[in-house]
Amino acid sequence: MRKLEKKIALITGASSGIGKAMAIAFAREGALSIVVDIHEQGVKDVVDAIVSEGNNAWAEVCDVGQALEVRQTVARVIAEFGAIDILVNNAGIMDDFMPAADVEVQQWHHVMNVNLHGAYYFCHEILPAMVERGKGNILNISSVGGIQGSRAGAAYTAAKHGLIGLTKNIAFMYVGKGIRCNAIAPGGVNTNIGAGMHPNAFGYERMMTGMATMPRMAAPEEIAAAALFLVSDDGSFVNGEVLVADGGWTAY
């Protein structure tokens, strides 16, 4: 039997990169992957790729930083399929490596909305149904920038630290309700998250001081494999943890 047979798995930021790899991996293990992203064509392409393999997927276009859109998306999915067994908060954006003195308020709020508030919005909407059913699994994709201060700018670093705090709080609060919540903190991964960035010169120079110690970049599929462990019964006794998947970068 496949590891996620008949599970409903909602993955945000799933039109590319790690999110896409998770949606495909989960569907191959029997889940119906709910592919959520702001990019409509990307969502459709991922769903088509999953269906072409004979597996199941559903497309939802949503700006995770907008609470109303999140509420409507969750309502549609539950109305259509009855439940959401697995929630993966993966959507994220970079912050141009802006240090605190340089990051503008608008950029700060935009990064927070996507990287932290969006995860809260989805948890807030989905948790009551998970509590009612007495089971559920939440996985938040943080970053090594969520455990160290030298991997990005101020906004991204703060948001990813906050996401780990949210993870641990949910894990503790709902441990008696049949719900697990964990996080993955990836190191460098070959995705398009940095596309269109205009790095702050000072912030980029400071961040680069540690880049030489990074062993290599990961493939998105390597992070998806770790995610599959955490959302399946293989990780049934893992709760409130942060799995660092960085090839040993933070061991330096």
Edge-to-edge order in the sheet of strand 242-245: 56-61, 32-37, 8-12, 86-89, 136-141, 179-186, 242-245
Question: Which residues lie below 8 Å from residue 244, measured CB to CB, with a gap of 6+?
Answer: 144, 147, 184, 185, 187, 250
What is the spatial distance between Cα 212 and Cα 208, in angstroms, rounded to a whole number? 8
Rounded to the nearest 5°, which phi and psi values hold at 98?
-75, 120
Q: Judge whether 204 counts as a catalytic residue.
A: no
C-beta of residue 160 within 8 angstroms of C-beta of residue 94? no
C-beta of residue 33 within 8 angstroms of C-beta of residue 11? yes
| Residue showing tokens 């120079």 | 205
Count of Cβ atoms closer than 10 Å to residue 200 Cβ: 19
Q: Which of 156, 174, 204, 252 does the annotation list as catalytic?
A: 156
- The tokens describing 191, both together, are 């995705």
Catalytic residues: 156
